[in-house]
Amino acid sequence: MSNIAFVAARMGSERMPGKVLKDLAGIPALVHIFGILRKANRLDDFAVVTTVLKEDDAIEKICVENSVKTIRGSVHDVLDRFRIAAEYYKPSRIIRVTGDDPLMDPEIIDQVIEEHCHGDFDYTSNMVERTFPRGMDTEVIEYSALEKSWRNTSDKDDHEHVTLYIRRNPELFKIHNVFNKNQRTDELRLCLDTEQDLELMKIIYENLYSGEVIKLDEVIKFLNDNPEYKKINSVVEQKKVKGKIY
């Protein structure tokens, strides 16, 4: 039984082009994600899924330099990119993470995988009901559920957002949500999507990064000790899909 993480990453972004390679403490954001995934004990392997666009050659180059496999496919059909990657690896389950989240905590990734494996679920995540900060997003999808999604929907949004079809159709899938065992912290925004997010991310990395993966507890303590930093990206609105914020 294999658990393979696929990292969705591309240089094109409406809000902040090139965000996945932004410098954080002298290291590209995507490379930090590689380090995080290597610390997740429940992962067997991981790969980056990007597009066939010329601009995403830069992502493949970074992957080659860091001995990470790259799978390339459709520009907007991310679900099909994941299908291609899944057909290549044939994992039992797919762990979906994004290149927007260079502060993911490997212990949270392991928690989501662990809870999924201890139940009879098609899909498990910590974002059906959010109790973790945005930026800790981890989703586990059974290979069969990914195939079912790809076969059953032609909706543009479903194909752009890999697990949207599953979350919009809970009657078709066994869905499980992972809750934060500690204090609820879903008001925090720790992802990388706007210039305000980047400003906060740089401050966190400049103060906490010492060559080791930064844990969520460290980030929360730092922001509680310096509450003025929470305001930097507090007004950023998450983009809606079909009139809803997921």
pLDDT digits (tens, 9 = 90+) for 202-223: 999 999 999 999 999 999 999 9
Tell me, what's the pLDDT at 1?
Answer: 55
Per-residue pLDDT reduced to its tens digit, 224-239: 999 999 999 998 987 7
pLDDT tops 80 at residue 242:
no
Using alpha carbons, select from 136, 115, 116 the residue that is nearest to residue 127: 136
Tell me, what's the pLDDT at 225?
Answer: 98
Q: From start to end of 43-192, where are the E strands? A: 45-51, 69-73, 93-98, 123-125, 139-142, 175-177
Strand pairing category for 123-125 and 93-98:
unpaired
Distances in Å between the alpha carbon of 28 and those of 24, 49, 95?
A: 6, 17, 22
- What CA dihedral angle connects 29, 30, 31 and 37, to 10 degrees? 120
Tell me, what's the pLDDT at 244?
Answer: 64
What is the end-to-end Cα distance of the chain in Å, rounded?
A: 29
**Between helices 78-89 and 143-152, what is the axis angle to 10°?**
140
- What CA dihedral angle connects 236, 31, 123 and 88, to 10 degrees? 140
Q: How far apart are CA 184 and CA 66, in angstroms?
A: 35
Domain 3-231: assigned CATH number: 3.90.550.10
Rounded mean pLDDT, 92-109: 96
Contacts of 54 (CB under 8 A, 6+ apart): none
The phi, psi pair for 214, rounded to 5°, reads -80, 130
Q: What are the domain boundaries of the chain?
A: 3-231
pTM: 0.94
As a whole number of Å, the CA-based R_g of the chain is 17
Contacts of 49 (CB under 8 A, 6+ apart): 6, 7, 8, 9, 70, 71, 72, 73, 78, 81, 82, 84, 85
Per-residue pLDDT reduced to its tens digit, 129-178: 999 999 999 999 999 999 999 999 999 999 999 999 999 999 999 999 99
**Between helices 195-208 and 216-225, what is the axis angle to 10°?**
100
Strand pairing category for 3-8 and 123-125:
unpaired
Tell me, what's the pLDDT at 183?
Answer: 86
Amino acid symbol at 226: N
Q: Is 27 helix (H, G, I), strand (E, B) or coil?
A: strand
